[in-house]
């Protein structure tokens, strides 16, 4: 497996963990911020699901099999599942931390792809990171 495909599979695994956390938060958010956060978490998990699909398809385009089971993905992921029961602001803080970790990983994988001359992967990852940097800024503002 090429180093770029390996990085993409790690991203795929981390996005699966991120996606499930967002679903959990969408289902379980409570309190006066419910309506805003319920909708925002849904928007974010929908975006994460699209990223999962695009990452898996890029791995396939590079001639490698994407990590396809939860067991494989959890073993490869560096993001951790949320075993606790955070309050609404804790959910936002955890989501922000995940986005920041994902962005670091996205930028490193994009750089790796660029150095390997893999423009397709580079062009896929950079917009993901750009979009998430804006979302991270908004979450930081939400937290005050």
pLDDT 10s digits, 18-44: 999 999 999 999 999 999 999 999 999
Q: Report the pLDDT averaged over residues 110-139.
A: 97
pLDDT band at 85 (very low <50, low <70, confident <90, very high): very high
**By residue range, what is the domain housing residue 95?**
3-143
Q: For the chain, what is the radius of gyration of the CA atoms?
A: 15
pLDDT in tens, 48-57: 999 999 999 9
Q: Output the CA torsion sign for 135, 136, 141, 142.
A: positive
Hey, what's the torsion of the CAs at 115, 116, 121, 127, to 10 degrees? 0
Domain count along the chain: 1
91-117 tens-digit pLDDT: 999 999 999 999 999 999 999 999 999
In terms of Cα–Cα distance, which of 76, 82, 17, 91 is closest to 51? 17
Rounded to the nearest integer, the mean pLDDT of the chain is 97
| CA–centroid distance for 12 within its chain | 8
Q: Helices (H) and strands (E) in the chain — how many of each?
A: 5, 0
pLDDT at residue 1, rounded to an integer? 82
pTM: 0.96
Indicate the pLDDT class of residue 83, thresholds 50, 70 and 90.
Answer: confident
The fraction of the chain above a pLDDT of 70, given in percent, is 100
- Residue 11: per-residue pLDDT: 98
Q: How confident is the model at residue 140 (pLDDT cuts 50, 70, 90)?
A: very high
Q: What is the CATH number of the domain that holds 9?
A: 1.20.1260.10
Q: Which residues contact 45 (CB under 8 A, 6 or more apart)?
A: 19, 22, 23, 26
Angle between helices 119-143 and 88-115 (to 10 degrees): 160
């Amino acid at each position: 497996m090429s180093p770029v495909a390996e990085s993409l599979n790690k991203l795929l695994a981390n996005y699966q963990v991120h996606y499930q956390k967002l679903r959990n938060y969408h289902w379980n958010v409570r309190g006066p911020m419910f309506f805003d956060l319920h909708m925002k978490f849904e928007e974010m998990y929908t975006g994460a699901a699209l990223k999962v699909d695009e990452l898996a398809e890029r791995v396939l385009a590079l001639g490698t099999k994407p990590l396809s089971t939860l067991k494989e993905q959890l073993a490869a992921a560096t993001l951790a599942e949320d075993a606790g029961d955070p309050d609404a602001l804790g959910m936002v803080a955890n989501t922000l931390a995940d986005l920041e970790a994902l962005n670091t990983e996205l930028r490193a994988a994009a750089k790796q792809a660029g150095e390997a001359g893999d423009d397709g992967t580079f062009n896929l990852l950079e917009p993901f990171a750009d979009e998430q940097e804006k979302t991270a800024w908004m979450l930081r503002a939400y937290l005050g």
